[in-house]
């Protein structure tokens, strides 16, 4: 299996609300570039399966692109129930009360779950795309390589059009 991992900041997946037309236009532009990139990668690499780490309570532009491309889509994020069973708190990475060891354990468990979801759901796919938070990209790549898959890692932050800190950009440039 050939796996392309695209690291992202989750803001690109989330709905955005603002009363400022300028802000909405900027954010929509970022999302439009992301959608174009997804279409390009799915077509270029002949992707038939996409696994995405995404908030299950929100819409996903990735899921919509997969529908348009007639591509299998699975949200590979651990369910809230599974997190509760494993005692992984919501927003644990941002919780100053948790030690780095506890945070790392939560990340390892979630990453293992993501890999299992991909391998279970993409069984017959030769080329797959995994979209995840940038902090998980290298760990997922290592896990996939360990079980014998060819892996390429890309990151949205490397794209010339992408602005990582939307809030700062909007405050100082719009």
pLDDT digits (tens, 9 = 90+) for 45-61: 999 999 999 988 888 89
169 lies in a domain? no
What is the average pLDDT across 35-39? 96
172 lies in a domain? no
22 lies in a domain? no
Q: Where are the beta strands (DSSP E) in the chain?
A: 2-8, 49-52, 72-75, 127-133, 150-155
29 lies in a domain? no
Number of structural domains found in the chain? 1
**What CATH code is carried by the domain that includes residue 48?**
3.40.1010
Q: Which two tokens stand for residue 18?
A: 């603002």
> 25-29, 68-72, 113-117, 119-123: which has the minimum mean pLDDT?
25-29
* 80, 120, 131, 133, 174 from 9: Cα distances, Å: 20, 25, 10, 6, 21
73 lies in a domain? yes
The rounded distance, in Å, linking the Cα atoms of 120 and 1 is 12
121 lies in a domain? yes
Contact (CB, 8 A) for 130 and 62: no
Output the pTM of the full model: 0.88
The boundaries of the domain holding residue 124 are 2-9+39-159
The rounded distance, in Å, linking the Cα atoms of 152 and 138 is 10
What is the average pLDDT across 55-68? 91
């Amino acid at each position: 299996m050939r796996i392309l991992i695209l690291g992202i900041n989750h803001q690109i997946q989330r709905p955005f609300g603002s009363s400022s037309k300028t802000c909405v236009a900027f954010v929509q532009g970022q999302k439009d570039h992301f959608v174009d990139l997804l279409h390009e990668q799915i077509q270029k690499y002949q992707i038939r399966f996409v696994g995405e780490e995404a908030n299950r309570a929100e819409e996903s532009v990735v899921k919509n692109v997969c529908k348009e491309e007639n591509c299998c889509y699975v949200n590979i994020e651990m369910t809230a129930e599974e997190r509760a069973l494993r005692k992984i708190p919501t927003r644990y990475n941002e919780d100053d009360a948790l030690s780095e060891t506890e945070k790392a354990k939560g990340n390892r468990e979630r990453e293992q779950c993501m890999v299992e979801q991909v391998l279970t759901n993409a069984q017959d796919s030769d080329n797959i795309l995994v979209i995840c938070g940038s902090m998980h990209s290298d760990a997922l790549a290592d896990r996939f390589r360990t079980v014998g898959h060819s892996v390429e890692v890309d990151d949205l932050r490397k794209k010339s059009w992408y602005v990582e800190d939307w809030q700062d950009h909007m405050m100082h440039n719009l």
